[in-house]
Chains A and B, each alone.
Chain A
Amino acid sequence: MSVEISSIDHFQEILQKDNEQALILNFYAPWAAPCQQMNQVFDQFAKDTQEATFLKIEAEKFSDIAESFDITAVPLFVLIHGQKVLARISGANPQKLKSAIDEYIRPIIQQSSATPSSNGPDVNVGSVQTNAVSSGASGAKAANGLDVETDNRLRTLTSAHDIMLFMKGTPSEPACGFSRKLVGMLRERNVQYGFFNILADDAVRQSLKAFSDWPTFPQLYIKGEFVGGLDVVAEMMETGEFQEMLA
């Protein structure tokens, strides 16, 4: 089970209890959506890997602990054994965290445990999400034809901010006229939004087309829901529908 750190003493107590334990620290902020999702994933991993110690640390609450680990962004996971940092995993990526646990933690706990552990659970991320995905076998596909891991990664990405813009280029340097127009429209209305440059990541670029069921960019998401491209958003702004969605 994963343990929520309640005080600095609590943290030190756990660390000092056993020098040989494998530790995975989860630095998070409760108000950040990617952290909320990764916390669920983290808890699941903790259940599947009882021999290691999984700790959740609210970074802002325990800023001293966060500082000592040089935490500048959340979520951030630190894998530790015998006072040594084995790995740092930054960002909300279940697959990356699982790979790190398999690579660094598994060998340690296999050595110390009497019974040989199995190859490790498949990333059953589907079971820790609230939206129903076909039960558990890895390689299962979501309804949109994407594999479960990609689908979940996109779900996390599209909810990273209340308003998420998937565009070509960046707001300061749009790489296409349509993306530029949409950025301009959002700026005009003083809308706060997060953005993702799909030119910098072809995997997201291709899989998002299937995820959104939409063949072009830019794409706008509000609260994790696909809203449309430039034309749709432009019309919605004219009719006032857009402003309503923000409320």
Chain B
Amino acid sequence: MIKRLLHNMSRHDRIFNTLSKELEARNIELYNDSYKHAHHAAMKGLEEKNETHFRLNIISPKFTGLTRVARHRLVYSSLKDEFENGLHALQITSAKTPQELEKQ
């Protein structure tokens, strides 16, 4: 029942919600870059071709003590379902902890 509800949400919203919940993310900047890739051969015939490529800046306390790769892995694994259902790429341009953000 919940899954059906979720599917009526856009991928953008689903990603946003998942990250807020599972990563306790404070700041999420999520951009949909799918239009930049819509012409790619791999995208031909895809139904949701306007929700395939996203870009993310994210602040989460769960990143504390993790290497860059580990942080990206954490984000990716929380979105495992999306990757199995048409999400092609998620650029992570920034993955910081709240402390690191303050230092900036």
- A residues lining the B interface (CB < 8 Å): 175-178, 213-216, 226-232, 235-236
Given contacts A216-B76, A232-B68, 14 further A-B contacts (CB under 8 A): A178-B89, A214-B76, A216-B83, A216-B90, A226-B69, A227-B69, A228-B69, A230-B91, A231-B91, A231-B93, A232-B69, A232-B72, A235-B68, A236-B68
Complex: how many Å from CA A213 to CA B72?
11
Q: How many CB-defined contacts (below 8 Å) exist between A and B? A: 34
Q: Which residue of A lies closest to B76 (CB)?
A: A215
B72 touches A177 (CB 8 A): no
A164 CB, nearest partner CB in chain B, Å: 16
* 8 A Cβ contacts from B50-104 to A: 68-69, 72-73, 76-77, 80, 83, 88-93
B15 CB, nearest partner CB in chain A, Å: 13
B89 touches A231 (CB 8 A): no
Chain A residues whose CB sits within 8 angstroms of the CB of B37 once the complex forms: 177
- Which applies to chain B's interface (DSSP): helix, strand, loop or mixed? helix
Chain A residues whose CB sits within 8 angstroms of the CB of B89 once the complex forms: 178, 216
Complex: how many Å from CA A231 to CA B56?
11
Q: Which residue of A lies closest to B40 (CB)?
A: A176
Q: Give the interface size bracket for B toward A.
A: 10 to 19
B78 CB, nearest partner CB in chain A, Å: 11
- B residues lining the A interface (CB < 8 Å): 36-37, 40-41, 68-69, 72-73, 76-77, 80, 83, 88-93
Q: Which residue of B lies closest to A168 (CB)?
A: B42
A214 touches B73 (CB 8 A): yes
Q: Which residue of A lies closest to B92 (CB)?
A: A231
Complex: how many Å from CA A232 to CA B73?
11
A213 touches B93 (CB 8 A): no
A221 CB, nearest partner CB in chain B, Å: 12
Chain A residues whose CB sits within 8 angstroms of the CB of B69 once the complex forms: 226-228, 232
Q: Which residue of A lies closest to B33 (CB)?
A: A177
Q: Which 4 A-B pairs have the closest CB atoms?
A: A215-B83, A228-B69, A231-B92, A232-B68
Chain A residues whose CB sits within 8 angstroms of the CB of B36 once the complex forms: 177
Residue among A228, A231, A232 with max Cβ neighbours from chain B (10 Å) = A231
Complex: how many Å from CA A216 to CA B91?
10
Complex: how many Å from CA A232 to CA B90?
12
- Of A176, A178, A228, the residue contacting B72 (CB under 8 A) is A228
Chain B residues whose CB sits within 8 angstroms of the CB of A215 once the complex forms: 76, 80, 83
- Of B40, B72, B83, B88, the residue contacting A229 (CB under 8 A) is B72
B72 touches A231 (CB 8 A): yes
Chain A residues whose CB sits within 8 angstroms of the CB of B83 once the complex forms: 215-216
23 sampled A-B residue pairs with Cβ under 8 A: A175-B41, A177-B36, A177-B37, A178-B89, A178-B91, A213-B73, A213-B77, A214-B76, A215-B80, A216-B76, A216-B88, A216-B89, A216-B90, A227-B69, A228-B68, A228-B69, A229-B72, A231-B91, A231-B92, A232-B68, A232-B69, A235-B68, A236-B68
Chain A residues whose CB sits within 8 angstroms of the CB of B76 once the complex forms: 214-216
Chain B residues whose CB sits within 8 angstroms of the CB of A214 once the complex forms: 73, 76
Q: Which residue of B lies closest to A199 (CB)?
A: B42
